[in-house]
Structure formats: C-alpha cells, structure tokens
Amino acid sequence: MWHRIQILLLYCIASEVSVAKHLESRRNFPEGLYSVKESGSAKWNRMKRSLHQGSSCRIRGCCTGRDDECSFTIVSRAAVCYCDQFCTSGSPGPVDCCTDYWEVCGRPAGPRRAEQPWLPPAGGCYKDGRYYGEGTIIKDNCNSCKCFNSLWKCSTDVCLVRQDLIQHINSGDFGWKADNYSQFWGMTVEEGFKKRLGTFPPSHSLLNMREVPGKSLPEEKFPAIFSAIYEWPEWIHDPLDQRNCGASWAFSTASVAADRIAIHSKGQITDNLSAQNLISCDTRNQHGCNGGSIDGAWRYLKTHGVVSYACYPSFWNKHLGPSAENQCYVSNEYGKNHTNGPCPNAFEKSNRLYRCASHYRVSSKETDIMKEIKDRGPVQAIMKVYEDFFLYKEGIYQHSQKAGSKWKTHSVKLLGWGALPDKNGQKQKFWIAANSWGKSWGENGYFRILRGQNECDIEKLILATLGQP
C-alpha cells in the first residue's frame, strides 16, 4: 500500500513540473497565448491561472519590458504567472499575467497589444529604449544625467573617449588610427591629464642644462630602421602600466635607467627597476601619483638608488597592501648596496639597490639623438600630450587640430627610429617610443611619432645616463 502511495506522489510532482514547463515554453509564442482557438489543454491551464486570486505582483514587484525571471510560481495550481510588460490580456480573461498585475502595476485590462499599444507611465525618461523613473541618475560616459520633469539633464564635461573624434581621425589623412579604450571610458579629459600623465613641466634649471655636444653625422650614416630591442635583445625592458597613477616621471626614468644599466654592464645586470620605489620613497618636492619631476627622479637614483621591480612591484600588485602608494616600504643608508630590510614582495629575496651615474642632456638635433640611442641605448623624452594621443592605436602619430589646444607634459622612452613612404610616396620619418599605459594601448605598449619636426616637443628635451656610477 505504501509503495502505491509513493508512486502516486511521484506522478503528481512530475505532472506539476510538466505543466509548468509547458506554460513557460508558450511565452515564446505570444500569438498562441492570445488566440481564442486554443486546445482544451491550453484553456484548462489558462483557467487554472485565472482562478488563483492572490497578491503575486504585490509580492514579486513589477518589471519593465520582457523579463522571464519576473514571475510568480503558483505551486498549488501548477502554474506560472508573470508581472512584466510582456504579459497581456486576451478573451475571455487573464492569460499569463498574474491576477493582480493590472491593479499593482497600473495597467488596466483591455484589448490585445496588437489592437491597443501599452501606454508608458506618466513622467520619467527614456534612453536607448529603456524607461527610467523620475529622479533617476545614470552615467553617460564621463557625464551624469538626471531625469527631471521627463527630460534628461546632463553635465557637459568633455570626455576622454569621444566617438566623433575617433571617427574624425580614422576617416582623415593623419597617418595613424584611433581606437576606443575601455580603460579611458568614463574619464574626462582633465581626469586623463591628471591620472595618466604626471610629469611636471621641465624646470628652468633643466631647460638651461647644457647639451652634450654631438658629432653631427649626416642621416645617411645611420640605418634606415633601428630599434634598441633588436640591438640589445633581453636587455631592453617592456612597457609597464602606470594605470591611474600620474607618475610617468617615475616610470620613464626607471625604465631608461634599467636599460642603460643593462647595456653598460654588458648584460650582467638585467633587472628592471622599481618605479614604485621612486613613487613612494622619492618625496622631496615630488608628489607621487600626483606628479613629479624627472630631474628629481634622476638625482634620487644617483644618491639613494632603487631596488628591482621584482622586489618592489607596483602598489596594486597583490603582494602589497592598498595603502602602499603612500608608504615607503624600503629604507637604505648612503653608500650601502642593499636595503635595511627585506623586499616588500616576500617572494623576492634580493634586496639589492641599483644606482646610476648623473643624468645629462642630449643635443636636440635629430641625428645627435639617433647617435645617442645607437651607441648607448634608449633615452628619456618629455612631450606634450593632447587628448587625441590617448586614442592612438597604430601608425605615425601627429597631433590632430580637432583635438583642441589643451595639453599636459608626459615623459616617455625613445628607443629607435624608422621611415616609411606615405600614400604620396613621400618619406615619413618617425621615432619609436615606449609609453607606460600597458601593452593593450597603442602598438603593444609602444607608439611611433613624427621624427625631425619636434612633434609635440618630443625632441626638445632629451635626457640619459651612462648607466652605473
């Protein structure tokens, strides 16, 4: 007897599941739900739902559009009803709307949707086909919009990622292509300048620094294409990502110093140097992620030295705490070659300090810069950055006038040069440079920029070091 009761119970449960699945599948065929020429089974399912007098939508809430999750399961009736706008009314009564849908969700029962469209609620705003209630605040790229009196009231900041500027560049004859970078989406131009650059304009003393005389060789004496990456493989360090830390002053200095030390030591020292060591510890007239000077960074490298990137990685590395940006994790004494304590990254055992010789200014003449790179390795350059530079994807960069006249200073690493014919067959000369915005930006973290025309002041101030002291 007990065995028969168990079988009967299992049969009832299976029947309820089957009916529920059947009702759910019918939402994919609205016309079948609205039709009065339904099968006997469909009529019975509809009657079962219409018989339920409950407060489904009052409990579940109302949903806009079609939302299959916006449903209420009536277990006792083996039925599923909905509280979204896709549910409808048809003769002779409710089809898949919950019984209290019209009362709670403010939609009166009436003819089918095909005969009388659903009226939007009074007040509120629409955007991209979606309804937002009065007072709703949404983010539109770098601007905020509020629904007020059924109209959107939006802020008018200039966004770093502008589709019109991207289209203008890509449809024009600028020699380079632009792209939409998700890392810059939602940022204003001013935020981009503040968070993604960070090199102070050169001081008067730096601008008055005497240039090392060049030998003024003719351009024909140089190879048409040169890259330090191929000249010194394994000794040139890849671009890092400064993220939203305005400290290109530290990243460019550490990268050029690391390359030069590797070349000067003939590969005996190949460690990358820690930009974070400079950001957190070089605090004399420096402002960390809020900007700094490259001459101050070079002085710190000479007097104090920094550890390797492996020893002291960037503060967003999982091995460091969230407050690491504002705390110096290493200490040292003058003349010592190791720090007074272990590495901030516990997985790295070597706490060796690396120092470099005094920095010097390279002649601004194009061929003198080329000779310096070819003989001794990458150099550091300060450049003007306009808003269109953030969008650079590939090609030979030059400033687009549509991008406006606002600019801030940035420092990068120059490591080579080349030339390519443009569409008119004219030779287009360029520098090869490494940025500090990660490898997803530009040409795998690098960019090319016009050479010989001081584009964006790229040739105005060039610094280097001889490597180790």
Alpha-carbon distance 101 to 98, whole Å? 5
Alpha-carbon distance 299 to 137, whole Å? 49
- Strands 379-385, 408-421: pairing kind: antiparallel
Catalytic residue among 45, 272, 332, 435: 435
Contact 346, 424 (CB under 8 A): no
Alpha-carbon distance 63 to 25, whole Å? 20
Catalytic residue among 264, 359, 399, 410: 410
Contact 73, 20 (CB under 8 A): yes
Q: Which amino acid is it at 106?
A: G
Active-site residue flag, 435: yes
Active-site residue flag, 22: no
SS3 of 29, please?
Answer: coil
Residues ≥6 apart with Cβ < 8 Å to 332 = 304, 305, 338, 339, 340, 353
Which run of H or of E encompasses 164? helix 163-171
Long-range contacts of 350-353 (CB under 8 A, 24+ apart): 350/308, 350/310, 350/311, 351/307, 351/311, 352/307, 352/308, 352/311, 353/304, 353/305, 353/306, 353/307
**Block residue for tokens 């003024």:** 216
**Block residue for tokens 């090319």:** 448
Rounded to 5°, the CA angle 79-118-138 comes to 95
Token pair in block for residue 61? 């809430």
User: Which candidate, 16, 41, 15, places its Cα nearest to that of 26?
Assistant: 41
Residues ≥6 apart with Cβ < 8 Å to 307 = 273, 274, 277, 330, 339, 343, 351, 352, 353, 354
Alpha-carbon distance 29 to 372, whole Å? 73
DSSP line for 413-431:
EEEEEEEEE-TTS-EEEEE
Alpha-carbon distance 328 to 283, whole Å? 9
Dihedral-angle region of residue 111 (phi above 0 means left; psi in -120 to 50 means alpha; beta otherwise)? beta
Alpha-carbon distance 28 to 348, whole Å? 59
The catalytic residue positions are 410, 435
